[in-house]
């Protein structure tokens, strides 16, 4: 059965804009997966981290992949883009966060669905609201309104 999933995309090292665009294309080429909607690109300040500003987007995909298999594909794309994890919240060449996967609710050592911090981050909620306004309540947007985010 096909699941609708949302993926947050971010990068703040190297050519971040190109990395995000390439990631969107790569997501559309994953097996049994297609991108059905994509937000604009946004620039945001790092949250709980240092480094340069991030370029962010959110995509909606339809996939036949189960949540953990989809996560493995996302992590492979990050690795292919040169993602390193020297410490928590380190600057990154590519970050792909699985926000939701159908109606899945789960908590494992490798994946929590829905994403546990997505409602705290303007760089997720603003682009998500652009492509799926039914997924973001107005009060959630108001709660992150002090976080800087600029549509490119």
Alpha carbon 54 to its chain centroid, in Å, reads 12
Take residue 104 and report the two structure tokens written for it.
């899945």
- How many other β-carbons are positioned within 10 Å of the β-carbon of residue 122? 22
Give the integer Cα–Cα distance in Å for 93 and 100: 22
3-state SS track over 28-89: HCCCCEEEEEECCCEEECCCCCCCCCEEEEEEEEEECCCHHHHHHHHHHHHHHCCCCCCCCC
Distance between CA 94 and CA 24 in Å, rounded? Answer: 11
Catalytically active residues, by annotation: 83, 92, 95, 97
For 111: left if phi > 0, alpha if psi spans -120 to 50, otherwise beta; the answer is beta
């Amino acid at each position: 059965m096909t699941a609708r999933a949302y993926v947050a995309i971010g990068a703040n090292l190297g050519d971040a804009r190109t990395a995000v665009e390439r990631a969107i294309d790569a997501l559309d080429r994953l097996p049994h997966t297609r991108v059905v909607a994509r937000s604009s690109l946004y620039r945001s300040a790092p949250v709980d981290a240092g480094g340069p500003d991030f370029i962010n987007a959110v995509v909606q995909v339809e996939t036949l992949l189960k949540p953990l298999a989809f996560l493995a594909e996302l992590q492979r794309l990050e690795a292919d883009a040169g993602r390193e994890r020297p410490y928590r919240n380190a600057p990154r060449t590519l970050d792909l966060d699985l926000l939701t996967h159908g109606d899945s609710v789960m908590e494992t050592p490798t994946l929590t669905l829905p994403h546990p911090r997505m409602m705290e981050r303007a760089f997720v909620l603003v682009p998500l609201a652009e492509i799926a306004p039914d997924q973001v309540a107005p009060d959630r947007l108001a709660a992150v309104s002090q976080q800087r985010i600029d549509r490119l």
